Amino acid sequence: MMSLFRRWSFLLLLFIAVLSILAPFSLSVSPNQEVAPPFSTPLWLKRNLPPTMKITLSENILKKNIAWPYNPPTQIHLSGEITLSVPSALVLETPTQKFVLHHLTVGKNTFDIDGRDLSFKQRLNFSPFAQIPSELFSEKGEYIFRVEPDFSAPPEMRGTITFDIKGGRWGLLGTDQRGRDIFSLFIAGIRVSLIVGISATLLASLLGLFFGLISGYAGGWTDTIIMRGVDILLSIPILPILMVLAAYWGKGLWQLVLILSLFSWMGTARTVRAMTLSLRDSSYIEGLRGLGAPTFYILWRHLLPETLPLLLANIALGVPGAILAEAGISFLGLSDPRIISWGRMLHEAHSFGAFTRGAWWMLLPPGLGITLLCLIFLDLGKFLEEQIDPQLKGALKQ
């Protein structure tokens, strides 16, 4: 067993499991919380994007200078609740141009304008497809944001105007289409993929073991019935069953595990049955039966330990299948949107256009995460297989 602990896959699995257990406490930001504008890029991506800024004008400060050495921001938002003594305009002066953002009337004004509103684009007579932030902040240099009276008299103003300039940069892996932090989603995703992968395969293997042993040992009618049952289950495609069961049982995590295990035990059952058949006729089992040992005793004390190593290898190799099945199911939209799993993240990134947006930092982490988890279990499976059958030791052993 010792050599197991030195294996890279085991250590990595341990690390990931610990990470997913610590996740809820250690993460500063909860996965479901909206933290930044959607599709913001990660901080380390050197696209020279500006930091998020908030510029406010109030009673005595009617003018603010902004030094702007950056590329254009991704989002701007203008909001305020003010009362004015004189009609004036909210103006943004760029090094070369001057834009009137909003006309303010005498008395009370409340407004909430976003760079993406079509009406705002039309008011500044840009094309409906223009990106306002890059039109306004197109050059680097000195910008002035101020309330400019229509006529000469300086206005008195009560209340505040806030000008949010969002840099569109956030955290380690940016944000998804709902502005949630992808990194915390990624960490939270481990839990589901692990739980689904391991528990589905465990359940399937137990079912397979149970049916395999019984049909192998009992033989005769029970054997044919179970084997025909296996044939029937194998010839029904999983897809519609999942939809019917998902529609009936609802879409929780454990329903998914149950459905997955219900449809992957047949393989194990067949291998266990084959093994039991060959062991059943071996001399020492024959001898035990001769001594009058009850069937249960024979199964439990003798046949089970024989099949165990094979089972372990089977489990380890089954987990990747379950993880990929979960990713496939969420790709078809059958999984519960509230459960954060890598499969779900990959699907949402794909359907909200991450590929066309070139947002590889949204696609690679879950995709590679799934692959890594599968590789780990494959390696463990191979290790266990080699324990059972040393010849298989390939050149991989370092």
**Interacting positions 208-247 with another protein (CB under 8 A):** 224, 228, 231-232, 234-241, 243-244, 247
Q: Residue 396 interacts with another protein (CB under 8 A)?
A: yes
261, two tokens: 């295990």
Quick one: 158 or 357, whose CB is closer to another protein?
A: 357
Stretch that binds another protein, among 150-158, 197-205, 206-214, 335-343 (CB under 8 A): 335-343
| 181: phi then psi, degrees, rounded to nearest 5 | -70, 120
CB of 110 to another protein, least distance (A): 9
Q: Residue 55 interacts with another protein (CB under 8 A)?
A: no
Quick one: 120 or 210, whose CB is closer to another protein?
A: 120
CB of 192 to another protein, least distance (A): 15
Sheet holding 107-114, edge to edge: 53-57, 157-166, 75-84, 107-114
Percent of the chain as helix, strand, coil, to the nearest 5:
55, 15, 30
| Euclidean distance between CA atoms 23 and 278, whole angstroms | 47
| Euclidean distance between CA atoms 317 and 267, whole angstroms | 12
Q: Residue 274 interacts with another protein (CB under 8 A)?
A: no
| Euclidean distance between CA atoms 372 and 132, whole angstroms | 41
Quick one: 147 or 325, whose CB is closer to another protein?
A: 325
381, two tokens: 């499976």
Could you say which residues in the range 91-130 bind another protein, by CB under 8 A?
112, 114, 116-118, 121, 127-130
User: How far is CA 148 from each of CA 38, 60, 110, 129, rounded to the nearest angstrom?
Assistant: 33, 14, 17, 28
Distance of CA 206 to the CA centre of its chain: 29
Q: Residue 83 interacts with another protein (CB under 8 A)?
A: no
Q: Residue 387 interacts with another protein (CB under 8 A)?
A: no
Q: Name the strand (E) or helix (H) holding 131.
A: none
Quick one: 182 or 327, whose CB is closer to another protein?
A: 327
Q: Residue 351 interacts with another protein (CB under 8 A)?
A: yes
Quick one: 174 or 320, whose CB is closer to another protein?
A: 320
Could you say which residues in the range 280-319 bind another protein, by CB under 8 A?
none
* Binding letters toward another protein, positions 31-50, x by CB under 8 A: ------xxx-----------
